Amino acid sequence: MAKKSMLNREEQRQKLSARYQAKRDQLRAVLNDPNADFDAKMQASAALSKLPRDSSVCRQVRRCAITGRPKGVYRKFALGRNKLRQLAMSGEIPGLRKASW
């Protein structure tokens, strides 16, 4: 089980990301606009760098929904490899079974 502080940190990152998402999208639109002048792009770049680091989506870590483990997490199931195997062997994940050929 992951430490509660790590889980709380991830929750905080999700909240910050949701709060600043519109502002980040607006600034990125200015940066990607080919018709924008250089000064506007520089101001947008400076404003983007002044936003909190944890408000960026790429700072979030995918964690297991049960244990909170940060590594070995399958996106499709949102489970760590250990819990995925355990639940698959007990037949609790519909449509998933161990391969044998």
Give the other-Cβ count within 10 Å of 73's Cβ. 20
Q: How far apart are CA 100 and CA 3, in angstroms?
A: 36
* Tens of pLDDT, residue by residue, the chain (101 residues): 889 999 999 999 999 999 999 999 999 999 999 999 999 999 999 999 999 999 999 999 999 999 999 999 999 999 999 999 999 999 999 998 888 88
pLDDT of residue 43: 96
Q: How far apart are CA 79 and CA 71, in angstroms?
A: 10
Q: How far apart are CA 67 and CA 2, in angstroms?
A: 6
Q: What is the pTM of this model?
A: 0.79
Q: How far apart are CA 29 and CA 12, in angstroms?
A: 25
DSSP β-ladder status, 79-80 and 73-74: antiparallel
pLDDT of residue 6: 92
Q: What's the CATH class of domain 62-100?
A: few secondary structures
Q: Which residues contact 16 (CB under 8 A, 6 or more apart)?
A: 52, 54, 55
pLDDT of residue 98: 84
Structure tokens at 99: 């391969």
pLDDT of residue 100: 84
Q: Where are the domains of the chain?
A: 1-61, 62-100
